[in-house]
Structure 1
């Protein structure tokens, strides 16, 4: 497996299609991550954002590394991947420290794939990237509800705007609330209204370049006992009504592409 991972990371891919064909089939992938491909549409989503193997990409909030697993080998030879992380050496009882340690374990387990990934340590309560006009693409996947809930969304968008080169892209995937939902209430359930997200990004200086329905799911009724976490992959209710929620699948999600104007 290590030899294959090394081969993946050292390849020079002629296109995103070529890269993802190899990477999606890689043995380095966590088995449960493969099962989510049918919900997450990685090739279509990344193509919509305009990813190529030669870009410098900042992934905000990589979580357990679902997208990192694909981005790192795709960008290893000709591009660059940066990921945000909270401090793994923070207070032992802080949840942010646990998240930082979890990401560190993920990245450290396969240096063949992840040694070239730059880790941007941020304060989860006041995220600053320390980047200016250095990044081609910022992606933030299913995280905006938490940023809004914690009153960090304007600050995050401002940092993303500063980090991007003129003409750079902000790619957003976010659980989509009903159009008339109150953002403050829906964020507690993991969702945000699409028009609200667009308004916030435009207020930060971004221009909406396009929308995609590749991650839409009309079966998602958005009214569950434990919010979006009732659905897979979390299945917060365990075996209770599991078949019902598995039949719905993962959430209905907006997929938005914003551009930092060149002037």
Structure 2
């Protein structure tokens, strides 16, 4: 790719026609360079001067592209040290989804409900594999997470941290880093939704639902675990629909 033809060595002004397309092309060129050189997370990129020469672009344009890639979690800029390939980070994704979910609560809650549905489908589909790989030690850790929910739930208190730990432990046997990142992102989204909805009363039934999932997993019943896991999200769906004025159209 000839980045020089795209940028002509000048800075990109966002409101100019085609400017965003040229900036995106430069971002793609930087990503391709990382892949071609097989740079691993933590490894250094060429300097700004070297990158500008390699890609045939101006420093101002390059810096704009690098800032976007840093926001996307592709690279990490350490001032005074250089630029490095970033480790896996779902922070930007989580923050963006949380914002959209909270914003949608003012407009029928469609995106918040869609996020709940995506999580329900994802976890229900993967639980069978996790059940098959569950060990006694991991099962004990899963039950411990349930126990940490039951005491606060009995007095109507929230158990956000214990809930996050439960879902992490539930899928720990899969040893899937991408799934762990997505589950963490979903927890950030849920915290954002909870913040927007305000503190609600937590019934003991919320912890009982988690207990039921644990019992199905302990019995090795993947189908029942998937069914109970799917029903776990009904409470959040009802709260969102109530806050947004009814089911999204």
Question: Per the shorter chain, which TM-score range?
Answer: under 0.3
- Largest Rg, 1 or 2: 2
Structure number with the higher strand fraction is 1
Larger RCO: Structure 1 or Structure 2 (Cα < 8 Å, ≥ 6 residues apart)? 2
